Amino acid sequence: MKTLLAGVVIGTTVVNVHAETENFDSSATGAPPAGWTAGVTGSGKARWEVTAEPSAPSKPNVLVQSGRGAFPWCVKNGVALSDGYVEVKFKPISGREDQAGGVVWRWKDGSNYYVARGNALENNVPLYYTEKGVRNTVRYVDAPVARGVWHTLRVDFSGSTIKVTLDGKTYITVQDSHITGSGSAGVWTKADSVTQFDDFSYGAKP
């Protein structure tokens, strides 16, 4: 875990933004990362574990989901973000039904949160909100998401404004206020997706 204080100039005032990055290198392999909670929205059983990966952007470890469930998730404990950002590097490995890697934010519990993902099977970037355990589409946008390649997915959120960026290109900018207030942040997959994650970071808007 790396903690950063980034200086942001607002008018003539410099504001320190608290940002953290988790590269999973300090967590024991073969189990979910320390300080995280894993589960699944809907049916099935998630399998989240830290493992060594030679291609990891930050060697040696990554977080991988290899179970099968409707919507597996893994969130960082102790996070309460209302406005800010969440970002992760992800690599879709396999999956017959889906090959997805995503981030969640304003996560209240396993039934209420926002999620954005990149999908290598469909080559798109969708944005959803999950409410009372039901996933609802906000927007779908076609985007190149190659399997077996590391991608960077980032979401910036402030009030009702949500911006979704993949590999440095913004694909979605919308206004949506279905999930409000503070919540946790983490990573997400779908169905039988086997997906690796690294360099998970988040921060609050000043």
Dihedral of alpha carbons 8, 14, 15, 17, sign:
positive
DSSP structural state of residue 57: S
Domain count, the chain: 1
Mean pLDDT of 157-175: 98
Given pLDDT bands bounded at 50, 70 and 90, which one contains residue 108?
Answer: very high
Question: Which 3 state secondary structure label does DSSP give 56?
Answer: coil
pLDDT tens digits, 81-93: 999 999 999 999 9
| Encoded tokens for 131 | 């409410």
Mean pLDDT of 16-42: 89
Q: Which residues of 44-81 are buried (b: 16+ CB within 10 A; e: fewer)?
A: eebbbbbbebeebeeeebbbbbbbbbebbbbbbeebeb
Mean pLDDT of 97-103: 97
Given pLDDT bands bounded at 50, 70 and 90, which one contains residue 18?
Answer: low
**Average pLDDT of the chain, as a whole number:** 92
Given pLDDT bands bounded at 50, 70 and 90, which one contains residue 205?
Answer: confident
Domain of residue 152, CATH code:
2.60.120.560
Residue ranges making up the domain that contains 148: 2-204
pLDDT at 126 over 80: yes
- Provide the pLDDT for residue 77: 96
- Provide the pLDDT for residue 3: 47
pLDDT at 40 over 80: yes
